[in-house]
Structure 1
Amino acid sequence: MSKKRLELSIEKDILEKAKKHIPNLSGFVEECLKHYFGYADGIFPIGNVNEITDKIGRLQVELFLINQNYDAEESRKNAENEERDKAWRFLWNDFRPSLIPDETLLEKAIEVLGINGEELEDILDWVYITDVKVDTNSWQEVLKAYTENKDE
């Protein structure tokens, strides 16, 4: 390959430092260009950096969307839990004074909690008579305590 003479403009301080550390500046610049264009053996060209950064950008957007979706999923779960807690609380607060569940509230709770009526009535009775301390504002806590202690 034939070589061609080239004139470069480089800041004076940079050139002085480069001459101290790099004895053959022409060779160094030529080697950098070979790497950039992928002519160096076994080296990925730096010229692909735009493709790589574009891919990184796309992946960052995907990661953002995944995180957004995760946040949306968490919000959905929290909303569902709140709906369950609300159905349970309404039923429990109505049941406690009379020990008779209101049919409308019972039907709504069966639908929202996904549990059959007989078991739900058993849970109401269990919570009322048990000595187990449970947060009656939380359906998950009530169900967990009932499941763990119902046979005692």
Structure 2
Amino acid sequence: MRKKVTTISIDENLLRQAKREIPNISVFVESCFIAYLGLDDNIIDVKTELDKIKEAKLKINILTQSNTEETLINAYNKDKINNVWMECWGEYRNTEIINDEQLKKASKILGTTNQELKEMMVDLKLYATGDEIIKCQDFDFAYTKFKQIND
């Protein structure tokens, strides 16, 4: 490849700083032209890698959104479970009355039988400590405590 000498106008201060930091300005400028014009095979490789990075960022974004949505769904389900549990448990804890309609609804949502839910409320009221009874507002805690009592 034949080289051609040319003249370009550059700010004096910029040229001085460039000469200090860039060992061979001609080679640097030539490589910039090659990259800009897309004449370098290495640029194609870099573009391919940049495309892979873009794809990875997109996948990360999609996974993050999916995880966020899943977390929101799980939080909603936990709230739903705790709310239906508290309808039954709250009334029984305060009055020792079991509302059969609430019990049916709760057992369906909580995945238990009516009998198991009744036993759970009775056992928790009889055997759980005051602090544990407060924590029993959370169904997972209450169910775990019920299993501990019966083991």
Would the TM-score normalized by the shorter structure come out above 0.5? yes
Residues 73/23 of structure 1: CA separation in 2 closer, same or farther (3 Å cut): closer
Q: Distance in 2 between matches of 1:89 and 1:62?
A: 40
Do the aligned partners of residues 82 and 13 (structure 1) sit closer, same or farther apart at CA in structure 2, a change above 3 Å counting?
same
TM normalised by structure 2 equals: 0.75
Provide the C-alpha distance between the structure 1 equivalents of 2:22 and 2:136, rounded to a whole number of angstroms: 76
Q: Is the aligned partner of 1:3 residue 2:21?
A: no
TM-score normalised per structure 1 = 0.75
For structure 2, the 5+ residue unaligned runs are none
Distance 1:98 1:17 in 2: 85
User: What is the match of residue 140 of structure 1?
Assistant: 140
The match for 1:82 among 79, 82, 107 is 79
Higher share in helix: 2
Q: Which amino acid aligns with 1:4?
A: K
Matched position secondary structure for 1:9: coil
State the percentage of identical aligned residues. 24
Q: Distance in 1 between matches of 2:13 and 2:106?
A: 78
In the TM superposition, residue 65 of structure 1 has moved relative to its aligned partner by 3.3
How many correspondences in the alignment?
Answer: 146
Match of 1:110 in 2: 107
Partner of 2:65: 68
1:7-46 → structure 2 map (5 Å cutoff) = 7-22=7-22, 24-33=24-33, 37-38=39-40, 44-45=42-43
Residues 123 and 149, structure 2, Cα contact 8 Å, conserved in 1: no
Q: Given the superposition, is the C-alpha separation of residues 23 and 66 from structure 1 closer, same or farther in structure 2, using an over 3 Å criterion?
A: closer
User: What root-mean-square deviation, in Å, do the aligned CA atoms of Structure 1 and Structure 2 show?
Assistant: 2.9
Shift of 1:149: 3.0
Moved more, 13-22 or 85-94: 13-22
Q: Which runs of 5+ in 1 are unaligned?
A: none
* Mapped partners of 1:16, 1:98: distance in 2: 88
Question: 1:20, CA displacement in angstroms?
Answer: 4.1
Per-residue CA distance 1:95-138 (angstroms, 9 max, x = gap): 23554522211110111111122221221111111133231321
